[in-house]
Structure 1
Amino acid sequence: MIINSYHHGYRFSDDIVRVFREDLKARLPDADIRLEYMDTKRYDGRAHFELFYSYLSRKYAGERFDLIMVSDDPAFLFIREFQTRLWSDTPVVFSGLNHFEPEMLQEYPHHTGIIEKSDIEDNVRLIESLHPDARTLYLIIDNTITGEALRKSESETIRQITRFEVRFLDGGEMNLDELLFALERLPRDAVVVYQLWQRDRSMRRYEHEEVLPLICRHASVPVYGFSDIYLGLGIVGGKLISGREQGEVAADMTLRILSGTDPGEIPVQLDSCCKYRFDDRALRRFHIPARALPSGSEILYRSLSFYSRHKKVIWFFIGIVGIQFILIFYLLISRRKLAATERA
């Protein structure tokens, strides 16, 4: 059983689930994998958890599962509270958790998984090195369950390690129009980090693909992010975490448990594999040279040169000219031979 905190179309958790299922099916082709969405980006709170429990208890009455995989914080919180009433003692593998403390597993020895931990320190050091004159770091964050988890983990860590003055652009205090208005008026010595904006104070819901391009377009200063699902939507880039890697690790843990390993013997993976990736369009917009980026950085969305855009046409004409040159050369040789024959 897979319990996805969100909805189909939310790219990060979709990446986790897709890779998890692919890896399991590759090793266990006959596996019966069920998938349920909690849809907590649209509906959350205690009442929603109770309704979701009622739905599962009716739909799967009498069914047992070999393992439960939960994706992200809401599903993890749900299974901790309701598992004993649904599938007591069934092993649980979690993924994509933004807030984790070891004490959370004291009463759950059959739980293990991987944390969604961005490399905050390296990202902050990156921003400081690329923008030495910047003084203020603005964090865009909302008050959803995931947003609050990020506030406790990432935001507080940033405060502790950076030389920047840290300020919040808080979805619990402003709506989208107010956010965009504020972004247009940021000082030149500011930098923005997009953490999450999927609900504002008017309780309107947003997708990253909808709101992030607006944020980056209205911001006159660079916007960074910590997840690869934000790349291509306007952010400069950063050391980015990947949902695909989360799915791979969760699948590996699942296969070990299904092969007989006790979940308590599999340590929680506290580090995530993050890679430096950047959007060339944003780099050029803010005059950030590629040589200033960390070694091994991947730059995407590069503008194609004239040759790259028209390579086939160029080589077609080169071929035509080459053939014409060969024909002319052949004709010249033939004429010389003919002239020599006539003189003889």
Structure 2
Amino acid sequence: MPAHAADQRHILIVHSYHKGLRWTDTVDAGMLSVISERGSAFETHTEYLDTKRSGDETHYLQMRDMFRHKYRATRLSAVLVSDDDAYNFMLRFRDELFPLVPVIFCGVNYFTDFTDPRMHDIYTGVVEAFDIPQTIRVALKLHPETTRIVIINDRSTTGKANRKIIDTVIPEFSLKVAFDYLEDLTMDELRTKLRQLKPGTVILLMTFNLDRSGEVFNYDESIGLIAEAAPVPIYGVWDFYLGNGIVGGMLTSGRDQGRMAAEMALKIIDGTPVRSIPVVRESPNRFMFDYRQIERFRIPPDRIPPGALIINRPPSFYREHKEKVWAVGAAFMVLSGLVAALLVNIRRRKKSEESLRISEEKFSKVFRSSPDWITISRLSDGRYLDVNEAYLKTTGFTREEVIGKTPFELGIYGDNQDPKRLFDLLRERGSMQLEEMVFRMKSGEPRVVQRSAETIEVGGELLAISIVRDITEEKKAKEAVLASEQRYRAIFENASEA
């Protein structure tokens, strides 16, 4: 035997029900999440009593004999049990199976204080204290028109324990609403009765894993069949129903139950006396709701208790694209400053042109309404991310033709211009000021322009912001004036010589 195996301590986990039952699986996951933090210090052994499928006396005696044979040579440090059947099994057989081994329970619905004080040296754990009153209160708050609450429950061990607890709760609400039980039915009979429910009714679903005919349903199957037939809101007290058809409620978490029990077990193994770890009688329950059911039954959001967990809520645009929103906001801030600076230069250069006034918060309007072209493109590949209306109007291209394309693909640059050199210069210098170029329109017409550009980094990517002015007519006018001056000068000089 390897040395590390001899040093391992053994923990036995005994579940009341079967593997694959969501409650049992989440309890088991909670236990193992704690134990696994100790690495290879512990070896766990997991057993399932499977009492939802078989729970008669013969079954319990066979399980006892199996445990006695299987673990006769295993020295256990602790036994973890989940739910009432496994807990009662240990109360009955622990002395002959695992004498002096501490037992830590969770998920026990009907816990009573020990009459024998010596039991406090052996047993402790977490009571499954689901909160039916809080679930009923929130259901009545969210559906103030309710006059009747129908309770779905089975006749299993868990169901019988549920019934005892519910019967103590009903008097608190009996003057406000009527209560009816749907239990001891086949699943088909139950679904028929559910389809007949009228508005003003709310369902409180406890457990319905075993119907009158003896057919067994896991939690997913049970809630699926019930939710499909029920035309009214369903509430519950366990989180394994959430997301499968219930509106919500004050819900108990199987994972939390298992986690707390395992933490107690490790404390005991580390040397803390069992007696000094009291039984936890209040589960860490919380309000949980399904957004889809809130929408289905048109529940006003302001009625939902503050701090409640809401699943299936569609993400807000900001939450889903927060980085992009911040990046675009930063880009607009930078662009606002760039446009403001360029407009100052334009005013200085051409005083006769009507001044354009821009403020940081009105950048978008300036971008769209500017008579000059304004383009935003990626410096890495030159592809346009956005262009303003002036660009489209002057060049003759449509927005669909431009976005995602490069100016080279559109054929905008003139034949005598090296596009790679232009982008290399911009990347090297970080900016370009009033560079005269020739752009070709969609029609093929060449236009003389002045281009100013600036680079900015957004989200780790370099963008080029360009403002382009069409100076074709201005240049023609200047050339005409210059030609006229030269013509008159020639006439004057010829006249002087004569």
TM-score by length of 2: 0.63
- Measured in 1, the distance between the counterparts of 2:389 and 2:263 equals 61
Deviation at 1:137, TM superposition (A): 1.0
- Paired amino acid for 2:247: V
Q: 2:181 aligns with which of 153, 157, 168?
A: 168
- Measured in 1, the distance between the counterparts of 2:115 and 2:48 equals 23
Q: 2:278 aligns with which of 259, 267, 277?
A: 267
Question: CA 1:167/1:249 → structure 2, altered by over 3 Å: closer, same or farther?
Answer: same
What secondary structure does 1:261 align onto? Answer: coil
Residues 105, 111 of structure 1: 8 Å contact kept: no
- Paired amino acid for 1:254: A
C-alpha RMSD of matched pairs (Å)? 3.1
Residues 135, 164 of structure 1: 8 Å contact kept: yes
* Greater displacement, 77-86 / 294-303: 294-303
- Measured in 2, the distance between the counterparts of 1:307 and 1:93 equals 46
Instruction: Tell me what 1:20 maps to.
Output: 31
* Greater displacement, 121-130 / 25-34: 25-34
- Paired amino acid for 2:131: D
- Measured in 1, the distance between the counterparts of 2:158 and 2:386 equals 64
Q: Does 1:11 align with 2:11?
A: no
Q: Does 1:156 align with 2:219?
A: no
Deviations 1:281-333 (Å, cap 9, x if unpaired)?
Answer: 1111111111111111222113467999999xxx9xx9876345599599654
Instruction: Tell me what 1:69 maps to.
Output: 80
Deviation at 1:34, TM superposition (A): 0.9
Alignment of 1:63-212 (within 5 A): 63-103=74-114, 106=117, 108-109=119-120, 110-153=122-165, 155-162=166-173, 163-170=176-183, 172=184, 174-212=185-223
Instruction: Tell me what 2:228 maps to.
Output: 217
Deviation at 1:336, TM superposition (A): 4.2
- Measured in 2, the distance between the counterparts of 1:189 and 1:25 equals 48
- Measured in 1, the distance between the counterparts of 2:44 and 2:63 equals 19
Question: CA 1:214/1:310 → structure 2, altered by over 3 Å: closer, same or farther?
Answer: farther
Residues 239, 277 of structure 1: 8 Å contact kept: yes
Deviations 1:26-73 (Å, cap 9, x if unpaired)?
Answer: 135321111111111211121111111111111112322010000111
Q: Does 1:322 align with 2:385?
A: yes
What secondary structure does 1:90 align onto? Answer: coil
Q: Which has the higher strand share?
A: 2
- Measured in 2, the distance between the counterparts of 1:289 and 1:276 equals 16
Q: Does 1:52 align with 2:96?
A: no
Residues 30, 255 of structure 2: 8 Å contact kept: yes
- Paired amino acid for 1:167: D
- Measured in 2, the distance between the counterparts of 1:202 and 1:294 equals 40
Structure 1 unaligned segments of length 5 or more: list them: none
* Greater displacement, 246-255 / 100-109: 100-109
Structure 2 unaligned segments of length 5 or more: list them: 1-11, 328-375, 378-382, 393-433, 440-448, 452-467, 480-498
Q: 1:228 aligns with which of 218, 236, 239?
A: 239
Aligned residue pairs total 340
Deviations 1:102-151 (Å, cap 9, x if unpaired)?
Answer: 13665523100001111222112111212222111111000111111111
- Paired amino acid for 2:80: M
- Measured in 1, the distance between the counterparts of 2:283 and 2:303 equals 24
Residues 124, 158 of structure 1: 8 Å contact kept: no
Residues 153, 159 of structure 2: 8 Å contact kept: yes
Residues 84, 108 of structure 2: 8 Å contact kept: yes
Question: CA 1:139/1:107 → structure 2, altered by over 3 Å: closer, same or farther?
Answer: farther
Higher relative contact order (CA 8 A, sep 6+): 1
Deviation at 1:94, TM superposition (A): 0.2
Q: Does 1:288 align with 2:351?
A: no
Instruction: Tell me what 2:252 maps to.
Output: 241
- Paired amino acid for 2:385: G
Question: CA 1:66/1:305 → structure 2, altered by over 3 Å: closer, same or farther?
Answer: closer
Question: CA 1:328/1:185 → structure 2, altered by over 3 Å: closer, same or farther?
Answer: same
What secondary structure does 2:124 align onto? Answer: strand
- Paired amino acid for 2:132: I
Deviation at 1:249, TM superposition (A): 1.0
Instruction: Tell me what 1:2 maps to.
Output: 13
- Paired amino acid for 1:145: T
What secondary structure does 2:385 align onto? Answer: helix
What secondary structure does 1:68 align onto? Answer: strand
Seq. identity, %: 33
What secondary structure does 1:167 align onto? Answer: strand
- Paired amino acid for 2:147: R
Question: CA 1:249/1:336 → structure 2, altered by over 3 Å: closer, same or farther?
Answer: closer
Residues 22, 220 of structure 2: 8 Å contact kept: no
TM-score by length of 1: 0.89
- Paired amino acid for 2:222: V
- Measured in 2, the distance between the counterparts of 1:274 and 1:205 equals 27
What secondary structure does 1:232 align onto? Answer: coil
- Paired amino acid for 1:122: Q
